[in-house]
C-alpha cells in the first residue's frame, strides 16, 4: 500500500485557508446579515470542517470506500443540522405569553 506524502507547503496552504475562513467567521459576526447570519456562519464552519476532513485526515488521497464513509458522515451532519433548523423555525409559538 503506497502512501501519498504531502509537502509542508501543502499543509501550510490549507492552514492559511483555515485562518482566512476563521477571520471571515469573525468578520461575519460583526456584520448584521439578518436572517442569513446563522446560515453564513454555518457555511463557513462546514467549509472549514470539509478542509480538515479532506486534507488533515487524508481523505483526499484515500480509496473510494473511505470517500464513501466520509461523505456519509458529512451527509448525516447536514441532515442533523437541517432538522435542527427545522425545529427552531417551527417554534414560533413559544415566544408568546401563556393565557
Residues 38 and 17: their CA atoms lie apart, in Å, by: 21
Residues 82 and 86: their CA atoms lie apart, in Å, by: 6
In this structure, the dihedral spanned by the alpha carbons of residues 8, 11, 15 and 18, taken in order and rounded to 10 degrees, is 170
Among candidate residues 19, 12, 21, the one with its CA nearest the CA of residue 55: 12
Residues 3 and 35: their CA atoms lie apart, in Å, by: 45
pLDDT at residue 87 greater than cutoff 90? no
pLDDT at residue 96 greater than cutoff 60? no
Among candidate residues 42, 40, 43, 49, the one with its CA nearest the CA of residue 18: 49
Residues 50 and 57: their CA atoms lie apart, in Å, by: 10
pLDDT at residue 79 greater than cutoff 90? yes
For the residues 67-88, what does the mean pLDDT come to?
88
Q: Which secondary-structure segment (H or E) carries 72?
A: helix 64-89
The 10s digit of each residue's pLDDT in 17-34 is 999 999 999 999 999 998
pLDDT, averaged across the chain:
86
Amino acid at each position: 500500500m503506497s502512501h501519498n506524502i504531502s509537502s509542508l507547503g501543502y499543509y501550510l496552504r490549507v492552514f492559511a485557508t483555515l485562518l482566512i475562513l476563521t477571520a471571515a467567521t469573525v468578520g461575519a459576526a460583526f456584520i448584521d446579515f439578518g436572517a442569513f447570519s446563522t446560515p453564513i456562519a454555518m457555511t463557513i464552519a462546514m467549509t472549514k470542517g470539509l478542509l480538515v476532513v479532506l486534507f488533515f485526515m487524508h481523505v483526499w488521497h484515500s480509496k473510494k470506500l473511505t470517500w464513501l464513509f466520509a461523505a456519509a458522515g458529512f451527509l448525516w451532519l447536514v441532515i442533523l443540522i437541517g432538522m435542527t433548523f427545522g425545529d427552531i423555525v417551527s417554534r414560533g409559538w413559544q415566544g408568546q405569553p401563556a393565557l
